[in-house]
Structure 1
Amino acid sequence: MNKDFLNELGELALGSRLKRVSERMMADAAAVYQHFDMNIQPKWFTLLALLDRKEQVSVVQAANLLGLTQPALSQFSRQLAAKKLINIRLDSEDSRKRVLSLSALGRQKVTEMRPVWTAVDKAAKDLSHEFENHFYDSLRTFERALKKRSLLERSKDHFEQLDSLKTAHTVDTDMLANNLTFLDFEPDLAPFFEQINSQWIKSMFVLEDVDKQVLGSPKENIIDKGGKIYFAKHSQLGIVGACALLNKGEGAFELTKMGVLENARGLKVGEKLLQHVIAQAQLLPLDCLFLLTNGKCEAAIHLYEKNGFQHDREIMEKYGKSYQRCDVAMRWVGASPK
């Protein structure tokens, strides 16, 4: 089965992903209309529905209500008028304005389409809530956020932040690293836990089922089982790092799912976060603190060794089968962080 490359790109390809979904939905809608012999193009639907709700509306009003450009709205209007489904007339009080309304044939066609629209509405709700999803609500929230600040504005801000950090980084890395605070898990922070870890895992490996389970429901799979999750918050970049302590029972805790966002690499976030988590682990009823990783993670392994972890065959034999990618197991031996 071919992999979906957009999964690797993540939010970077958000626009392309939305376009792909939109094109799929429009194609499916066209298939629905064809199946029921409606002879209607999906792109006309919103304008027909608007005119069904309102007795008449100007081109400008319709464009604003539907979030379309006036040229696009005018094009749809001409197409529907050519099908004799709507009437276009000049406003009696302002000849510069064109007013749209359904024709008699248009009202008949809308009446015929209403049962189909009801079926499509229910099908769309099924899609939006399948797999315990709330896609439509999330989409409306996303649109509000986009209206509040555009992708361009946000991109410029992040670019400027990164540029300033790179400049400052050459001057004083330690100062930047000290701009960190550490937060305990809160439900509102769960998306950061998934985002941070998905980014680094997908950059080097493949998300395994156990990854998806833990990252998708960290409260149920870590917190509710007696574990802990910690976040590193940078004063300029926000939440940039995450790490968990997974309760394995009998006094054993696995240090797991530790990652740092790419835009914060080189600021010693990983080391500071690791030291914080080790300190917090010592406050737990702890007999054994261990971690599982892969030999490809050379920088991380060096960091673990520097902060008191040693390679351990017994840990590998007991816990190493948890992940297919695991070929390194380490136990914390109690050394103070250097």
Structure 2
Amino acid sequence: MDFLDELEELALGTRLKRLSERMLTDAGKVYKAFNINMQPKWFSLLALIDKKQKINVVEASQLLGLSQPAVSQFCRQLEKEGLITNIICENDSRKRVLTLTETGQQQVNKMKPMWQAVTHAAKELSQELDNDIYQAIRKCEQAMTRKSLLERTMDIYHEQTDELEFVSFEPKYAEVFRHINEEWISSMFVLEESDKNVLTDPVKYIISKGGKIWFARHKQLGFVACCALAKKKELTFELTKMGVLESARGLKVGEKLLRFVLHEAAKMPMKRLFLLTNKKCQAAIHLYEKNGFVHDRHVMEEFGSSYDRCDVAMKYLAIWHN
């Protein structure tokens, strides 16, 4: 049983690599059967030099779709075998071009009948399939040139954030609130007494005091993030206990949740909003800065002692109308 069959398209790259290695192994056996001392990986470069007669490394790299270091490595190997040499370019004495040696030309001429036989064998192989594999690979390469696998993956991955919904706290979600926050805090810091109190009883320490808690719920992944507004003084709130599960990182959940919370905060009777964090949380700090928070020493002096880990304090610059 082939496990790659279970992985299907997820293992497309692995499968193509395996097929490529098998094809190259068979190509090596073909050369051996014809008593030709040749490595299959040199074939395309030799065929290109034979067709162009003279070509430089940069042009060869572009035409073969290989990196310049890879082409240069093949050139050194072929020069060592005495099959090619580099000479001064006739049009520009500062440049050197690749050309076949007499031995190299003889070797290529000897291989051409074999190449023709391999071409027919490859066509025969392709015709045994429901689809022409050669044309399919060409189209796949063209499609990847238009839009890479990375670009396609990231677009689809980020589109999944459209499947988020924001849910207000209910007592039945208390365990979710604890789990999300324990995961991110424990991964970077030690849970402090104030953390334990809030996570054990968010109703007592946040909701009953006039605060709010929201969750981001993904249609496939479930609850993936949370954020709270804890009331500290009259018209003064702390943005706190904002965390995103590791399983949802990269979906921009944190940014969308933060913007939602700030939108909701604008509806509340509030004159001041601040947050406390740590320099280790650079990604979070950048997100806060991007969304209107600035560093503030007065906030640090007034509230910074709330957590031992706190060494960054920020306030929100929006103008509150409540």
TM-score normalized by the length of structure 1: 0.49
Task: Tell whether the 8 Å contact from 1:169 to 1:176 is kept in structure 2 after alignment.
Answer: no
Alignment deviations for residues 63-113 of structure 1 (CA, whole Å, 9 cap, x no partner): xxxxxxxxxxxxxxxxxxxxxxxxxxxxxxxxxxxxxxxxxxxxxxxxxxx
Q: How far does residue 249 in structure 1 lie from its aligned partner after superposition?
A: 1.5
Alignment of 1:329 with 2:297, yes or no, is no
Structure 2 match to 1:267: 251
Query: Which residue identity does 1:334 align to in structure 2?
Result: A
Alignment of 1:225 with 2:215, yes or no, is no
How do 1:51-90 and structure 2 match up within 5 A?
A: none
Identity %: 57
Query: Which residue identity does 2:260 align to in structure 1?
Result: H
**Larger Rg over CA atoms:** 2
For residue 303 of structure 1, give the secondary structure of its aligned residue in structure 2.
helix
Change (3 A) 1:335 1:269: farther
How big is the alpha-carbon RMSD for the aligned residues of Structure 1 and Structure 2?
Answer: 1.8
Structure 2 match to 1:244: 228
For residue 155 of structure 2, give the secondary structure of its aligned residue in structure 1.
coil
Change (3 A) 1:276 1:180: same
Moved over 6 A (4+): none
Q: How far does residue 240 in structure 1 lie from its aligned partner after superposition?
A: 0.3
Structure 2 match to 1:317: 301
Counterparts of 2:151 and 2:181, CA distance in 1:
27
**Among candidates 194, 199, 212, match of residue 210 of structure 1:** 194
Alignment of 1:280 with 2:271, yes or no, is no
For residue 170 of structure 1, give the secondary structure of its aligned residue in structure 2.
helix
Task: Tell whether the 8 Å contact from 1:174 to 1:267 is kept in structure 2 after alignment.
Answer: yes
For residue 284 of structure 1, give the secondary structure of its aligned residue in structure 2.
coil
Structure 2, unaligned runs of 5 or more: 1-149
Counterparts of 2:164 and 2:283, CA distance in 1:
21
Change (3 A) 1:168 1:217: farther
Structure 1, unaligned runs of 5 or more: 1-165
Q: How far does residue 167 in structure 1 lie from its aligned partner after superposition?
A: 11
Counterparts of 1:185 and 1:231, CA distance in 2:
7
Counterparts of 2:177 and 2:199, CA distance in 1:
7
For residue 178 of structure 1, give the secondary structure of its aligned residue in structure 2.
helix
Structure 1 match to 2:159: 175
**Among candidates 271, 277, 289, match of residue 293 of structure 1:** 277
Task: Tell whether the 8 Å contact from 1:241 to 1:258 is kept in structure 2 after alignment.
Answer: yes
Query: Which residue identity does 2:232 align to in structure 1?
Result: K
Question: Number of residues paired by the alignment?
Answer: 171
TM-score normalized by the length of structure 2: 0.51
Q: How far does residue 335 in structure 1 lie from its aligned partner after superposition?
A: 8.0
Query: Which residue identity does 2:296 align to in structure 1?
Result: D
